[in-house]
Structure 1
Amino acid sequence: MSVRKIMLLGRSSLVISLPKPWLQLHKLKKGDAVSISMRRDGAMVVYPSVKKGEDRYVQIEVDKNEPKELIARKIIALYLNGYNNIELKSTGVFPPHQQQLIREIARKLYLRIMEASPKHFYFQSYLDESKVSIDLSVRRMHSVAYSMCKDAVTALKENDLELARTIYALDDDVDNFYHFIRKILRSAMLNFSLAETLGVTPLSCLDYKRLVDCIEHTADCASNIVKSVILLNETGYRIPTHTMELLVNFGSTATEIYNEAVNTFFEEDLNKANSIINKCNSLWNISTKISESILKEQEATLVCTICSLREYIDRIIDYSVDIAETAINKSLSYV
């Protein structure tokens, strides 16, 4: 820790000097502006102001035989790490399947393709991170996931294939929100000035990160439920009425608990969050009844499908507990 003496400048102004290594690190000079923030504990934080027009650039080489999955993960990682200008160069020529993948990933991440050729892709992000509302973005992501869960239960109950396929396609929208919000949170944790503008702290970024993880996983569960509905329909088998009633009741209850948990996160209601956790812990009896109903089935396809459906709903409840626990942690973070 560097110690500085307070000096008197003029008749009443008190000043301190800034450490030279810090100035060199941020390339600051006379006349540049810095931002000052007062923390809750009374400490003062000084950080360089955001400089407009400074976009991070990166160039990576892609082998023409590189697996599609690896290319996708590289692009997403660069995006999440705040690179607004990304250039891909092929060691040979981008085969059609790689070109299609790159364009699809760019679309999902809202990256604009500026240049494209058989050997080269260059795209940019024009997102102004300082104008993003994290709360609003998370609420919109939750709205889609919640709708998916409700409709997934309806599709299961009514064996509605058209609705099931529509829900399955919505999972991409949740994934898009997920990558977008994670990028903002990572940027805020690296850039104190941006965090100040967005009204978040490193600790609250971790809470939001946990929340969007759970929302994304919940949407995946809804997607898997309708996938099971579609696959079961193709086999021609039907879930027995009693077991179906248990699954629908279980799914509807889990969906509403999930919605309550997310709302509690924003309300920071400790007692309500604790009540949600207790409610989740009391649902084991429904899961047990579904397990008992499976014992009566002899058809392997039905047994596997019912087990899978019960497991997906169980996971939604588990994620609801995680969200409620995060809400409790958030509500007590500044006692």
Structure 2
Amino acid sequence: MHRRRIQLIAGATYSVSLPKEWVKKNRLKPKQEVQITENVDGSLLITPHASESTEWTDVTLNVDRYLDSIEQIIFAVYYQGAENINLYSKEKMSKEIKSRIRKANTQMIGTEVTHEDSKRIHIKILLDKRKVDVIQTFYRISILIDSSLANLKEGLDIDEIRINENEIDRLYHLITKIIALSLTDTNILHSSKIENISLIPSYFLMAKRLENIGDNIKHMSEYLHESQKQMSFQMLRPIQDELIRCIKYLRSKNKEIFPKICPVLLDKITKSIDTVKDRIVYSYLDDILRYLIDIQVEIIKMSFYNQASRKGRA
């Protein structure tokens, strides 16, 4: 941590010197620009103002080295902001590998395959990263989850559940990408509406928990579809309401601390889930409720931090 005195120059301009070690580490030179961003708590974030790094612009991968995890590698490169992903094999790509690559491509928003032959697949990312609002994307995921939960209550349509789950996965990967880029790009940090870098862990966890809920709904639906079991899911309504309340709070910019689920209501939902005799269905429902509580815990922490920051105590 460094302390600097504010200097008044020519009676009009205030200046603060930069630590010499920081300037050297970032390879800055006299007359180069730095970017200064004001955080919601009034603090200033200073970052080297340079052209965007080309390290991840064009990425070339030998798929033969990642046969067991090619999907995860593609997602990792996507998260880092690559604009072109060039996949190749020294030998002919197998049908199975090509199929896995195509499936991974369908789970990423803003991508298209621009070239494919027996040994190569080229994926181009056309997404404008600075136009993605993370809070709005949370809202889109919540709408899909609400639709799937309503589907379970009103009569299972497995095709609709599958479509919703695929879109939830796509939005989850998009959020993960934007959050990851926000760690190093203050422009994206603010355009995404995250605004404060210290809140990124909470955004990561909430995104993951929303995806977990979507996964559980889909797995439970597949189980019910295959077993042809009919069940009542009246306990889902309060779960839907609580999820809607969470997202509504995030979108509202409410200045009060987010109120956690009422203990009486939580007890009622828990007891309702406990009446489910099918242990597989019970496990899925119990996890969905747990993930919802995890989301609420993160919102409570975020709301406290934001409130404290506004009052100058954070």
1:280 alignment partner in structure 2: 266
Long gaps (5+) in structure 1: 295-305
1:258 aligns with 2:243: yes
What displacement does 1:23 show? 4.7
* 1:78-129 Cα distance to aligned partner (Å, 9 max, x none): 1122222222221322112212221232232132323333222232212221
* 1:284-324 Cα distance to aligned partner (Å, 9 max, x none): 3223333xxx4xxxxxxxxxxx2222222222211221122
- Aligned residue type for 1:330: M
1:303 alignment partner in structure 2: none
Match of 2:282 among 291, 294, 310: 310
- The normalised TM-score by structure 1 is 0.78
1:206 aligns with 2:191: no
1:78 aligns with 2:77: yes
CA distance in 1, matches of 2:245, 2:65: 48
In 2, are the aligned partners of 1:58 and 1:87 still within 8 Å (CA)? yes
Alignment of 1:87-166 (within 5 A): 87-109=86-108, 110-155=110-155, 160=156, 163-166=157-160
Match of 1:170 among 161, 164, 173: 164
CA distance in 1, matches of 2:270, 2:11: 72
- Aligned residue type for 2:291: Y
The RMSD of aligned alpha carbons is 2.9
The share of aligned pairs that are identical, in percent, is 18
From the superposition, tell whether residues 284 and 2 of structure 1 become closer, same or farther in structure 2 (CA, over 3 Å).
closer
From the superposition, tell whether residues 50 and 152 of structure 1 become closer, same or farther in structure 2 (CA, over 3 Å).
farther
What displacement does 1:9 show? 5.0
Long gaps (5+) in structure 2: 309-314
CA distance in 1, matches of 2:243, 2:282: 16
- Aligned residue type for 2:211: E
1:299 alignment partner in structure 2: none
* 1:125-171 Cα distance to aligned partner (Å, 9 max, x none): 1222112212211111211111111112222xxxx4xx223212321
From the superposition, tell whether residues 288 and 133 of structure 1 become closer, same or farther in structure 2 (CA, over 3 Å).
closer
Structure with greater helix percent: 1
- Aligned residue type for 1:81: Q
1:216 alignment partner in structure 2: 211
In 2, are the aligned partners of 1:148 and 1:170 still within 8 Å (CA)? yes
CA distance in 1, matches of 2:138, 2:82: 22
CA distance in 2, matches of 1:129, 1:277: 40
From the superposition, tell whether residues 285 and 64 of structure 1 become closer, same or farther in structure 2 (CA, over 3 Å).
closer
